[in-house]
Amino acid sequence: MDWLQVIVLALVQGLTEFLPVSSSAHLILVPVLTNWEDQGLAFDVALHLGSLAAVVLYFRRDLINMTISWTRSVTHRQMDSDARLAWAVILGTIPVGLAGLLFKDSIETLLRSPIYLAIGLIVFGLLLGWADWRHKGEREVTQMNWKDVLFIGLAQAVALFPGTSRSGITITAGLMLGLTREAAARFSFLLSIPVILIACALKSYDLATAGVPVDWIFMISGVVASGISAFLCIHFFLAFINRIGMQPFVIYRIILGVALLWLFA
């Protein structure tokens, strides 16, 4: 790796992890389009750690309140809105955890190609566009029930299909349930925390057992660049989502998907 590759991959990860455009698709495509060698497992961990740090830092007050209330709900059976939100994040994570254990390796092996990425980008981009256009939601996160949470959690499991976008499909599901754009995005971002944490833990275990040498300068740089870009992405996305809607991202996904089909079909 060189510094250009480090910065580009970190920025791509940070900017696309939380936008509904599929970060995995972009991280797969960058080496394909640039002929760069694979960045390796260690740098993969660094990129995800940066994204995790960004979302935890951004929602730190929510997470503290959720943790305190969740603990109280377990020890004293006292339930408030923060405790319900914490339980919702836990419930919403279970489907993707089970799907990842059962199908992740086979999906990555069989479907990790530009053609499948293009299909995922276009199909789920159109679904996002329809959900944003059709459903003018007014519900907030606190108004979700367990069926709503389970529906969003099942949608998140679909993101294992390349090109889907974890944030994109969960926001789509939230919009279909009548959540506001901001509520759908906020819950999607909160749901990302355990998913990214699990991914980091698994990749770190693979890294430790593989005995791969680590370039700590590149690792730390990747964490910082990915984290800063992800934090800014979350901030501006939530600030402008009600004005810009989802259609610009839908158009981008379709253009990118068509370009991939043209290049690789």
Contact 10, 48 (CB under 8 A): no
Kindly tell me if the per-residue pLDDT of 101 is higher than 80: no
Q: Give pLDDT, residue 204.
A: 81
Percentages helix, strand, coil for the chain (3-state, rounded to 5) are: 80, 0, 20
Tell me the average pLDDT across 206-213. Answer: 74
In the 8-state DSSP scheme, what is residue 188? H
Short-list 262, 10, 256, CA closest to 117: 256
Contact 93, 153 (CB under 8 A): yes
Structure tokens at 12: 């791509």
More confident residue, 150 or 262: 150
Task: Give the Cα-Cα-Cα angle 240, 259, 17 (nearest 5 degrees).
Answer: 40
Q: Give pLDDT, residue 105.
A: 64
Q: Give pLDDT, residue 201.
A: 85
Q: Give pLDDT, residue 112.
A: 65
Kindly tell me if the per-residue pLDDT of 167 is higher than 80: yes
More confident residue, 35 or 56: 56
pLDDT band of residue 111 (cuts 50, 70, 90) is low
Q: Give pLDDT, residue 33.
A: 75
Tell me the average pLDDT across 253-260. Answer: 91
Contact 163, 130 (CB under 8 A): no
Tell me the average pLDDT across 150-166. Answer: 91
Tell me the average pLDDT across 150-158. Answer: 95
Contact 249, 21 (CB under 8 A): yes
- 80-86 long-range contacts (CB < 8 A, ≥24 apart) are 81/142, 84/142, 85/141, 85/142, 85/190
pLDDT band of residue 135 (cuts 50, 70, 90) is confident
Nearest 5°: phi and psi at 78? -105, 120
Kindly tell me if the per-residue pLDDT of 60 is higher than 70: yes
In the numeric block, the tokens 């959690």 are attached to: 153
Q: Give pLDDT, residue 41.
A: 66
pTM: 0.92
Q: Give pLDDT, residue 104.
A: 63
Residue 191 burial (C-beta neighbours within 10 Å; 0-12, 13-18, 19+):
buried
The average confidence (pLDDT) of the chain is 89
Short-list 55, 56, 53, 59, CA closest to 224: 53
Q: Give pLDDT, residue 227.
A: 96
Residue 239 CB-half CA count within 13 A: 7
Short-list 221, 195, 241, CA closest to 50: 221
